[in-house]
Each structure stands twice: as structure tokens, then as C-alpha cells.
Amino acid sequence: MIKKFFVTGTDTNIGKSTISGILLKKASNFGYVTAGYKPISSGAKKYKDITFKTNEKKYEFINEDSYILKKSSSIYLTYKEINPISFVESAPPNILSLINKRKIKKEHLSLGLKKISLKSNWILIEGAGGWYTPISNKYTFSDWVQEEKLTVILVVGIKLGCINHAILTEKSILSDNLICSGWIANNVFPENKYTSYYIQTLLSYIKSPLLGIVPYLKNINNIDVNKIKIKLPE
């Protein structure tokens, strides 16, 4: 049986990719054949890297989130397989789609997922932004997640405003008749005297189980996943 999880967050820039990378590596340690999938990305940097062009040094525009998913997957996947739809600019997908005259269709997202499903049995799909991020002027990411009947993981960036965002996001996921397998508290800033109060408050309001608390990570490129206490979602 193939396990498929969709990772959403309370906001943009709250560590969805970092958490996704950790989960992929933990699942691999449990014996799963893992694969990350970022169907749509926005924001890319120019890198000179041979990992995306075998034996060919070439400048490439690479999305950092997709790169994390690629290097965290236990199987080899091309960059295009992991991130089939990408934009260089940083903006909502529906706006970039309109500006660049590149129509985003839900079936394109599903096709990419189907291809990856043939190669792995534990797939982590990372969204863009929050739960209702538009992918066109008619559909949001959540509409596609509903069609695919994916189980959702909620990443909560612990910061001012996260309580309201987390409560609203979970309510939306559940109201869309989807399963939220759990939430992860990610300390995007160094912990302060309010941190534990944030988490205790969230525990009082969020119905889904807490899968783990991730400490503030200074260097996301050198993480010992064995030291990060996160339960794998079911």
C-alpha cells in the first residue's frame, strides 16, 4: 500500500520543506521507499550544480524547497519529476500562471503524482504557502488535495499569529472532509518565554495529534534526524 501525505502550513516560510525533509529521512529509516513531490514552486535561484545534469556542469534555476525534497528522497528522481511546474519569481501560483501565460491544471499535478507512485511507497507532497493557496482563479491547492483524497500534515510555525492561523487551517482541513494525521510545531525562531505557552494553547484547540516539536535549527543543511523527535504520520 502506498502512503501519500500532503504537507501544508499556517503560512509561507514556516519550514514546510525542512520538516518534509526530516520526515522523508525518518520514513526511509523505517524501510519505506520515499519520494518528495513539489508539484508547484515559486522562487528560484541560479545554481551551478552537477546533481541535476549528470556529468554536465550547467547553471540551473533551482527552487530550494524542491532541492531539499530531492536530496531527502531515498530514490533517485529527476528535478523535473519532483517539481514539474516551477516559476522563477516569488508570488502566488495563480498570479505567476497568469503573468507567464502558463496554465496550471489539476490533472498535471495528478499525473506527476501518479508517475512517482510507480517508484515509491511513501510519498510526501509539499504544497505552496497555506491551505487555500490558489493555483488558478478557479481552484486552490486544497481542491486538488480533496480530489486525490490525501491525508494532511499541518506544519505550524511557532510565532506571533500562529495560534489563529493553526486553528483556522485545521478547521478548514476537517471541513473539507479530509484526515489531518497530525501537526508539527516548528520553532522558526529561537525559543523565548512564550514558546511553551503557544504550544500548550495549540494543544487545547487543535484536535489532531501533535507529531512532534522541532527546535530552532540554525543550519538546515546539516540536520541529524535521529535527534529530531517527530512521529511518522499514520
**Known catalytic residues?**
38
The response to whether 11 counts as a known ligand-binding position is no
All three cell numbers of 122, joined, read 511513501
The response to whether 16 counts as a known ligand-binding position is yes
The response to whether 191 counts as a known ligand-binding position is no
Question: In angstroms, rounded to a whole number, what is the distance separating the alpha carbons of residues 141 and 132?
Answer: 6
The response to whether 190 counts as a known ligand-binding position is no
The response to whether 129 counts as a known ligand-binding position is yes
The response to whether 37 counts as a known ligand-binding position is no
Taking Cα atoms as reference points, which of 135, 41, 128 lies closest to residue 89?
A: 41
The response to whether 217 counts as a known ligand-binding position is yes
The response to whether 121 counts as a known ligand-binding position is no
Helix orientation angle between 106-117 and 141-148, rounded to the nearest 10 degrees? 50
The response to whether 127 counts as a known ligand-binding position is yes
Residue 46 pairs in a beta bridge with 61
The response to whether 215 counts as a known ligand-binding position is yes
Taking Cα atoms as reference points, which of 207, 208, 182, 210 lies closest to residue 196?
A: 210
The response to whether 44 counts as a known ligand-binding position is no
The response to whether 43 counts as a known ligand-binding position is no
The response to whether 186 counts as a known ligand-binding position is yes
Strand, coil or helix: 147: helix
Specify burial of residue 12 (Cβ count, 10 A radius: 0-12, 13-18, 19+).
Answer: middle
* Cβ–Cβ under 8 Å, residues 125 and 81: no
Question: In angstroms, rounded to a whole number, what is the distance separating the alpha carbons of residues 220 and 186?
Answer: 12
| Cα separations in angstroms, 74 against 22, 26, 64, 167, 206 | 12, 10, 18, 33, 32
Residues 6 or more apart whose Cβ sits within 8 Å of residue 8: 16, 127, 130, 131, 141, 152, 153, 154, 155, 169, 173
Q: Which parts are annotated binding residues?
A: 13-18, 42, 65, 126-129, 186-187, 215-217
Q: Which parts are annotated binding residues for ATP?
A: 13-18, 65, 126-129, 186-187, 215-217
Q: Which parts are annotated binding residues for Mg(2+)?
A: 17, 65, 126
